[in-house]
Chains A and B, each alone.
Chain A
Amino acid sequence: MNGKRDKILAILLLLMCSALSQARIKLVALPERAATVIRLDNPMATLIEEERVLTLQKGLNKVDFSWKGVSIDSDSIRLRPLDHPGKVTLLSVSYPPGEAALVWDISSDSDYAETVRISYLLSNIDRLITYKAIADKAETYVDLKSFLVLRNFSGEDFDRARVLLDYGEAFEQGIDHEETKRMLFLKADKVPITKVWTFDAARLPWDPEPLENRNVGIPVSYRIVNETASGLGEFALWGGKARLFQDDGHDSTIFLGEDVTALVPVGAKTELYIGDSRDIVVTQRKMTDTQINIRRNNKNKIILYDTDEVITAKIENFKDSPAILTMIQHIPGQWDMEKCNMKYKKKDANTLEFEIELPARMEKGPAVKELKMHYNRRNVRP
């Protein structure tokens, strides 16, 4: 580690005599780096903590710490004596001109082989999290694996270091400059999933007919909840890329698709989009759209009115298995629902969410359900 001069963070210990003899250099030593911790719990910065044994002599000692080719925030560098914290004191820090280095002035009341802990923020060393999930053929659960990808472009080699995220056990790992390592970090078998088809009326075409023989894909996702019932829930799952596979029933798998998940706190859910389904078809039309309760000004100009609107949506399931379609509808402004043939959940003032259970297709054709909403929008201004 310390032998790779152009890459390493070198610590050079120059022990000079104390106050009385200025120019006499008593000892030059290159102490080995002992326990090193790479803490990756903050995505904005990586904190390195390393221990070194400094051979201090009674009096004033000067320790030269340089980091050529390494990007360290010099204001973040801390030195803490561990063995004799009251007797070994850091007096001041000096910064030589034009060098990535500093010199610690350390006073010691006796000769010590002092273990010190040096902390600093190091740039260009970070970690990614990736996921791999293999769903069973029935798509009821996934075997989930999470990988830690350690990337080191800091200019520094780490032979052995304890790596810490903001959760999980610390583990020992070495990583050289320009090296990338991927490590299995989490393994959870049989994590329950819910397969979700989502039709969002604000994002997808309503009527496939004018599309002239082009399919409208209904986005399909696996929903995973970060909770103990799922075999998870110990810590937040970091955001990262997830690749999803499915057991094909022939001792092999197919690749379903990939998505990026955001951070999933404990108790929260994530939905991983794997692709579009063309086996569920939605045909939505507005059947009524008229102005009612019209208010006019003295010049007979309309200044306020309500609307009377009816929307129908036919949902066809061509799959040979049942499915639950999440249908999202949007009604802008102020509105009152006059009549709706299906239950919905009001997600917010203008968003309605329907969970529509679709049976498997039948011999005579697809399973069909129809949503019909009759509502009035209120106090609309032209």
Chain B
Amino acid sequence: MKGHLTDKELIEYQFKLASDIQMEEISGHLESCAKCREHLEQLKEKFAALDLLREDVKVSEDLVSQVVEQVGKPARPKVVSILRPRWIGAAAAVLIVGLILLFANLTEQGTRYGPVKESPTLHSYGDGALDKEIAKKPAERLLVTRAKEEKAELEGEFEQPSGHGVRRGATASQRVPAEPGPPFAPASAIELVTLPRRDKVQLTIYNSADLTLVRERRNLTLKKGWNWLQFMWANTLIDPTSLSLEPLEKADKIDIQQLVFPARLRELGRWLIRSEVSGKVPFEITYLTSGLSWRAFYMGTLSQDEKTMQMQGYVRVGNNSGEDYENAQTRLIVGKVHLLDEIAELARRQYPYGSPWPIVHDKKYDYSALIVADELSFKSRSGVNGFFEDKELRRKEITKEGLSEYFLYTIEGTETIADKWGKRLLSFEAEDVNVTSLYKYDEERWDNQTIRFVSFANDKKHNLGEMPIPNGTVKIYSQADEPVSPSASRGGQGYLSYVGGTGIKYIPVNEEVELNLGPARLVKVEPKLMDFKTDNYVFDHKGEISGWDEIRSWQIEITNTRELPIEIEITRGFDTAYWTLQADIPFEKHDATHARFKLNLEPRIERTFEYTVTTYHGLREEVLP
């Protein structure tokens, strides 16, 4: 090899663009030439420095004008021969890339020494400004676009990269417009850095998994040609594998070619965008994040006669995602979603898609420190108590609709949910829900305690039934018996008494639900075995007992010391499916081994009933039909 290696040769070598023979030659030369080795190291440092976006390059106005002017020129048509040798395409591609890189290098130098001015079309930030912005928003993702201008239009026969792979050359008679190859990520030369605001954001929060779908709309300013869009999510819990970018307009002229997660850079991705248009284009970015959650809970207030209940359903949304969501349309999903990986786990990965070999888990964040930082940052930026003013002066409606196996709650308007904050909203309110108070006694489930239940159905008859009721906790109050002060019942708002709390499962429309309010203190059930005997022994041919009956007489004493009448259900088990029962009150066979008695008791009354159960054992089981 004569003389020293050129920049082009070194770049081709560095990015393995040269042929095997060339690579060997360059490698051989580098071994013997210290000057070329030094030159290569300089180039490597330059590329590495470009990878750090905090060292964004200031752009001179002259350069921008020059670039825009060049973009404005029409692309020259080219003729593609179908008979071209295959190696010509590859060689052309290498040549194109090399020239782009060379140009990039040159223009970079130019911009470094050029006057620093803001771009008139793009909101541009210099190094310092960007750093300040990053420091100001530690928890907010940074969205950066980098436009890479076409410096040269090339003619020739080559295989054209596209978002869908390699586009083969057309027929001889076709005239295909020339397109340059994609720029290399580290060598982006013209960097126009913008921080587009979120125009809209929508959160769809699931309650069955730590999962939220975020959909945000941002207006990005593209240049014609190649653009880099950088997306950073430091200190958040975003799943990078879920990142998606779609243009909302001019989709046929904008090609999202690839998403690059650069080596050695964390919590950062770059989209390579090929655009045939310049100017503002609305984009939608979607991703999954963990850390946002919601849950439902309820408050019920029983009337004094305990026949009706006022029911209020609430949703409480919490944000621990590391991100503030301002004016977000908030939707809540009720339903079980199947996930293969936990989003939080994906968010914590060192490499978005993992690596082929096991890597010791990298501790990514110190979350305790993060929390403090976020609180501080948020308080400093937001209004009083971290809130942004809500312009709505009425209670927000929450619309509900079924979708597939899910139910979707959409909160009217938008919500601002700052990181680490929670918000409670009224989901529904139902007056005069008819309820049935029922006491239950079942020793197999609750030992010797009587349990109080309130039941109702999620249907129209109960002033409910518009939607399924998500699982959650419920607190039941009752209107206090008597007012304790003259103002007590002002505005129909009497004093309350706390009855108890419990969890409720998901209640589909029309299904009945029972709320377990815990042990009843003023209703007691006392079963007494009053008589026991065995009878009807059967013996086999060896003289052994092969069958017998057991006859038990029970006395059940129920005491209602409440001021209200009660209904009680008493379940008795017999440990065998072979039984007959005689009772002085009606009963129902609950299942093979249990019978149930239902009684209504007046206030402050004691009542007793008796039953005799005969259980059949051994051969005596056969006497039953």
Contacts and interface: CB of A to CB of B under 8 A. Distances in A.
Nearest to A263: B521
Given A47-B498, A298-B543, A95 B422 contact: yes
A274 interface: no
Given A298-B542, A379-B537, A333 B493 contact: no
Interface string B499-531: 111000000000000000010011010001111
A179 B488 CA distance: 27
A107 B394 contact: yes
- Identify the interface centre among B393, B420, B426, B532: most chain A CB within 10 Å of its CB: B393
A42 B395 CA distance: 32
A23 B383 contact: yes
B559 A268 contact: yes
A103 B531 CA distance: 64
Nearest to A171: B484
A294 to B, nearest CB: 12
B487 A35 contact: yes
A16 B391 CA distance: 12
Interface string A296-318: 11110001100000000000000
Contacts of A162: 484-485
A81 interface: yes
Nearest to A43: B521
Interface residues of A, number: 75
Contact of B385 (A64, A303, A349, A350): A64
Contact of B537 (A78, A97, A266, A304): A304
A59 B425 CA distance: 18
Nearest to B532: A349
A89 B392 CA distance: 12
Nearest to B298: A75
A62 B387 CA distance: 10
B575 interface: no
A350 to B, nearest CB: 8
B375 A98 contact: yes
A311 B426 CA distance: 71
- Identify the interface centre among B390, B419, B422, B529: most chain A CB within 10 Å of its CB: B390
A76 B475 contact: yes
Interface string A243-267: 0000000000000000000010111
B532 A267 contact: no
A303 B530 contact: no
A265 B559 contact: yes
B534 A39 contact: no
B608 to A, nearest CB: 13
B491 A85 contact: yes
B35 interface: no
A276 B8 CA distance: 108
Given A25-B384, A42-B499, A92-B423, A82 B392 contact: no
Contact of A19 (B383, B391, B500, B532): B391
A236 interface: yes
B84 to A, nearest CB: 64
Contacts of A59: 393
A333 to B, nearest CB: 7
B522 A89 contact: no
B365 interface: no
B424 A39 contact: no
A51 B316 CA distance: 25
Given A265-B522, A348-B529, A95 B421 contact: yes
Interface of B: 297, 299, 314, 316, 318, 371, 374-375, 378, 383-396, 418-426, 473, 475, 477, 480, 484-485, 487-488, 490-493, 495-501, 518, 521-522, 524, 528-534, 537, 539, 541-545, 548, 552-553, 555, 559, 561, 604, 606
Interface of A: 14, 16, 18-19, 22-23, 25, 35, 37, 39, 41-45, 47, 49, 51, 59-60, 62, 64, 75-76, 78, 80-85, 89-98, 102-103, 105, 107, 115, 117, 119, 121, 162, 164, 166, 170, 236, 263, 265-268, 296-299, 303-304, 333-334, 346-350, 378-379, 381
